[in-house]
Structure 1
Amino acid sequence: MADEFIKGFALFAIGGLGWITFGGWYRTPSYYDVVQLVNPAEGVNTAYGEVGVFAGDVFFWLMVLGALTFWVLIPASRQLRDAINDDDDAAAN
């Protein structure tokens, strides 16, 4: 169980740091605005800018789906598998 937690935490941390970095570069027009990191990208007119915006989105979804996978989906699937195996063992006896 600790193994899944640290894997999910690592993906959450890497994704979060990447999202904050690319969001700060491409989605934050001013540091004094209330809404940061979720603004639409403005002034991106180069291929590198498009790659940066795409990388920020990828890091965001890595953060969300990586943590969700290792913290919720994998433990839930193991619980479900154990419950199904217990039901099969009880039915066999």
Structure 2
Amino acid sequence: MADEFIKGLSIFTGAGLAWMVLAGWYRTPSFESEQQLVAPVELADSATMFDSLGVLLMDVFFWFAILGALTFWVLVPAVRRAGEALNERVG
């Protein structure tokens, strides 16, 4: 169980850090505003392909952090417990 926890924590920490860096670049209009990291993305007309890729990766890292952590913290242990219960019932 400890290795599932550390895998989930590693995914959550790594992807969360990547999301925070990208959100700091693209979702923080100014550091005096109250909407740091959660403001809507405003790309200028001169946005490059890398800006579009950064915005896309920001959403990918967010969902990877959430779903990856939940997978290793909830789904994998639940499947193992269900398998153990099924083996006890059958055997």
Match of 1:57 in 2: 59
Structure 2 CA distance, aligned partners of 1:19 and 1:64? 11
Q: CA deviation at 1:73?
A: 0.3
Q: CA deviation at 1:43?
A: 2.2
Structure 1 CA distance, aligned partners of 2:82 and 2:34? 43
Q: CA deviation at 1:46?
A: 1.6
- The runs of 5 or more residues in structure 1 that have no matched partner are none
Q: CA deviation at 1:30?
A: 1.4
Match of 1:29 in 2: 29
Alignment of 1:1-93 (within 5 A): 1-44=1-44, 45-89=47-91
Deviations 1:46-74 (A, max 9, x none): 21100000111111111101100000000
Greater Cα radius of gyration, structure 1 or 2: 1
Structure 2 CA distance, aligned partners of 1:17 and 1:26? 14
TM-score by length of 2: 0.91
| Cα-Cα RMSD | 1.1
Q: How many residues align?
A: 89
Q: CA deviation at 1:17?
A: 0.3
- The runs of 5 or more residues in structure 2 that have no matched partner are none
TM-score by length of 1: 0.89
